[in-house]
Chain A
Amino acid sequence: MVKSRSTQSHDPKKKVRPAGWQIFMVGFFLFYMLVPIISTYVFSVATRWDRTILPEGYTLEFYKRAFDASYFTITLRNSLILSVATVLVSLFVIVPTVYWVHTRLAGAKPLLDVLMILPFGIPTVVMALALVQVYNFPPLARSPFLLIGAVVIYSMPFMYRPVLNAIQAIDAHVLTEAGQSLGANVFQVLSRIIIPNILPGILSGSLLVFSTVFAEYTLTSLIVGARFKTFPLLLVEFTRINGNVASAFSVISFTIAWLASILILWVGSKGQTAKTETIRAR
């Protein structure tokens, strides 16, 4: 009832135009959000842009220099390794746990929720300090392995939400019982029935984790530093060496974030249609 009323007020047929103050607020918002990003994109291809309102000329020189920079491929590779490893560990740890708690161990749900929200309450520097203090012995001390552990914890909430939503949307209990009555064990139920059914949730979670970890700076620089240099570390380094090249790096970083968001939206819309179809089928 209430819902239908509120949608009525937004009826497109009425052709309500936004009020002046709305246009002002949204315009301000767009200005604030887009000008820094668009400027960085333009700056990265501008020859000189400090005397005129538009750049004096355009060039791809800075991208050439960015790609030529020593470390560029290494840092990109390291970032990819870190992000993919984190996604895999995160999937491996979180997906079975969420499924298990949902179907077999409802009593652990509050504990799971607390553990998942905890990383939000711990500043990344504090986590880095704690981990560096405890694991000060080889092979873990200041190693990429320790970093992966830290980054999995830090990005856990991003995986948890979509996976939880997906599992709550399907009838996991019925599916599990159906599978078990046909003689499937827990691993078969999980890999053959549950995971295919929650794939959109798993995909958006993975993409969210991937893009967060790809941009991660704090834990990487404080736990491993120069020993395992990733792309964000290279970016920060170049903000002090060459602004134009740094802007090219920023553009690469922004573009990856945009692409990941578009993919997440796309996956989300796929999941949505799948959901409405199953409802219709019922």
Chain B
Amino acid sequence: MSPSQRKTGRTSDWLGFAPFLLFCLAFEIVPILFLLRGSFIEKTTHQFTIQHYLDLQRPLYINSFLNSIKLSGLTAIIGVIVGTFIGYAIYRWPSERVREALITLSDVTTNFAGAPLAFAFVVILGLNGVITQFLLQYIHYDLYPKFSIYSFSGLILAYVYFQLPLMVLLVLPAFAGIKKEWQESAQSLGAGTFQFWWRIGVPVLMPSLIAGLTLLFANAFGAYATAYTLVQAKLSLVTLQIGYMIAGEVRQDQAVGMAMAVGSLVIMGLSIGIYKAATLRARRWSKS
């Protein structure tokens, strides 16, 4: 088919795209639009209202958002900082086979979220967990009751488990953007290691670090199964609250659930937007 024919067959070309578009409309876009509409509609009078959003000011919902933001923010920051150092250690590792093995490990473990992972943490850090008992018997240090795997601090450990390998995978390509020549010329101009990283390395990495921070934040904010298995009703998170509303455990507030869902979509949208902008900037260095 010649290019000119390709242009004339335009409507029929879009027809080939239609099945996929219909599928996305049916199971993704239309439901989300309904959700958006439902969050602004009064259930009995069917009139426009922002009452559902005002209802979000109740302490339970405010706390859910605060807890979710705190948990996601904290695990994203820990993930970015520790993940960057681990990533650099892997990037500079002399043996290629070890490097590849570690990248594969990151690939697998970053998908190990959810119930099995949560339970693995109960096995090592629960009340009778392997590490808990080890500390108690050999160092005579009792983790409980100050720490609990079924609490906020426990969730942080479990979330960092899937955040770290994700950051490693995100940051590895960024290190390739720091050219060896830059380091050499900085050295020949008398810059120390710290100076090089502070003035050149970190600024070059910065877009990738911001991209990592926002992606990890979104990754944690949307997580449900890990939190559900570990904390349940002991800690309120946005995703857990929405889950209770779907399961019908809290009967009265379906519409507030929708408002909450829209709120979390806004937060996710912002993070993904910053992520996109940051990756575009990061790509500047990998070109040339």
Assess A153 versus B28: contact at CB under 8 Å? Given A125-B239, A126-B261, A133-B34.
yes
- Check if B19 sits within 8 Å of A22, measured CB to CB: no
Cβ-defined contact, B24 with A153, below 8 A: yes
Bound Cα distance from A59 to B141, whole angstroms = 30
C-alpha gap A212/B229 in the complex (Å): 18
- Does A40 lie at the interface of the complex (its beta carbon under 8 Å from any beta carbon of B)? yes
A93 with B38: CB separation less than 8 A: no
Q: Which stretch from A69-77, A97-105, A191-199, A274-282 is at the chain B interface?
A: A97-105
A215 x B27 contact (CB < 8 A)? no
Instruction: Tell me if B30 and A93 are in contact (CB < 8 A).
Output: no
Residues from chain A with a CB closer than 8 A to the CB of B134 are 53
**A232 pairs with B115, CB closer than 8 A:** yes
Partner of B116, one of A50, A94, A218, A253: A253
How far, in Å, is A63 (CB) from chain B's closest CB? Answer: 15
Contact in complex: B104, A261 (CB < 8 Å): yes
Question: With A153-B24, A232-B114, A247-B119 in contact, do A129 and B242 touch (Cβ < 8 Å)?
Answer: yes
Residues on the B chain within 8 Å of A169, using CB: none
Given A26-B93, A153-B24: A131 and B31 within 8 A (CB)?
yes
Answer yes or no: B173 CB below 8 A from chain A CBs.
Answer: no
Dominant SS among interface residues on chain B: helix
A257 interfacial by beta-carbon distance below 8 Å: yes
For A220, the closest partner residue in chain B by CB is B225
Assess the B164–A32 pair: CB atoms within 8 A: yes
Across the interface, do B94 and A12 meet the contact criterion of CB distance under 8 Å? yes
Cα(A33)–Cα(B103), bound, Å: 12
- Closest chain A residue, CB of each to CB of B168: A29
Say yes or no: is A79 at the interface (Cβ < 8 Å to chain B): no
Residues of B within 8 A of A131 (CB): 27, 31
Residue A211 interfacial (CB < 8 Å): yes
**Cβ contacts A155-174/B at 8 Å (1 or 0 each):** 00000000000000000000
Quick one: CB contact mask for B254-275 with A, threshold 8 Å, 1 for yes? 1001100100110011001000
Q: What residues on B are CB-neighbors of A100 within 8 Å?
A: 13, 16-17
Contact with B along A1-27 (1 / 0, CB 8 A): 010011001101011111101100110
Which residues does chain B contribute within 8 Å of A250, judged by CB atoms?
A: 115-116, 119-120
Given A124-B224, A235-B116, A17 contacting B94 (CB threshold 8 A): yes
A50 CB contact (under 8 Å) in B107, B121, B128: B128
Q: Is the CB of A222 within 8 A of B96?
A: no
Per-residue CB contact flags for chain B residues 221-243 toward chain A (1 = under 8 Å, else 0) read 11011001100000000110011
Contacts of B107 in A (CB 8 A): 261
A60 neighbours in B (Cβ, 8 Å): none
- Bound: A126/B259 CA distance, A: 10
Cβ A18 vs Cβ B120 within 8 A = no
A26-B89, A261-B108 given; A12·B229 CB < 8 A: no
Give the contacting residue for B95; candidates A12, A122, A258; CB below 8 A: A12
How many interface residues does chain A have, given as a range?
35 or more
User: Which residues of the partner chain A approach B116 to less than 8 Å between Cβ atoms?
Assistant: 40, 215, 232, 235, 249-250, 253-254
- Count how many chain B residues have C-beta atoms less than 8 Å from C-beta atoms of the other chain: 90
Q: Does B6 contact A (CB under 8 A)?
A: yes
28 contacts between A and B (CB under 8 A): A2-B180, A21-B89, A26-B89, A29-B90, A35-B124, A36-B123, A36-B161, A37-B120, A40-B119, A97-B20, A101-B17, A104-B6, A105-B13, A112-B20, A119-B28, A123-B268, A126-B222, A128-B243, A133-B35, A134-B30, A149-B23, A215-B111, A217-B224, A217-B225, A218-B225, A232-B114, A232-B115, A236-B115
4 shortest A-B CB distances, which residue pairs?
A123-B222, A130-B31, A36-B120, A25-B89
A residues adjacent to B (C-beta < 8 A): 2, 5-6, 9-10, 12, 14-19, 21-22, 25-26, 28-30, 32-33, 35-37, 39-40, 43, 49-51, 53, 93-94, 96-97, 100-101, 104-105, 108, 112, 115, 117-135, 149-150, 152-153, 176-177, 180, 211-212, 215, 217-218, 222, 225, 232, 235-236, 239, 243, 246-247, 249-250, 253-254, 257-258, 261, 265
Give 15 A-B pairs besides A37-B120, A126-B222, A239-B118 with Cβ atoms closer than 8 angstroms.
A29-B86, A32-B164, A36-B120, A36-B121, A50-B133, A105-B16, A127-B31, A128-B246, A133-B34, A133-B258, A215-B111, A222-B247, A235-B119, A239-B229, A261-B108
Chain B residues near A (Cβ < 8 Å)? 1, 6, 9, 13-14, 16-17, 19-21, 23-24, 26-28, 30-32, 34-35, 38, 85-86, 88-90, 92-96, 102, 104-105, 107-109, 111-112, 114-124, 126, 128, 130-131, 133-134, 137-138, 160-161, 164-165, 168, 176, 179-181, 218, 221-222, 224-225, 228-229, 238-239, 242-243, 245-247, 254, 257-258, 261, 264-265, 268-269, 272
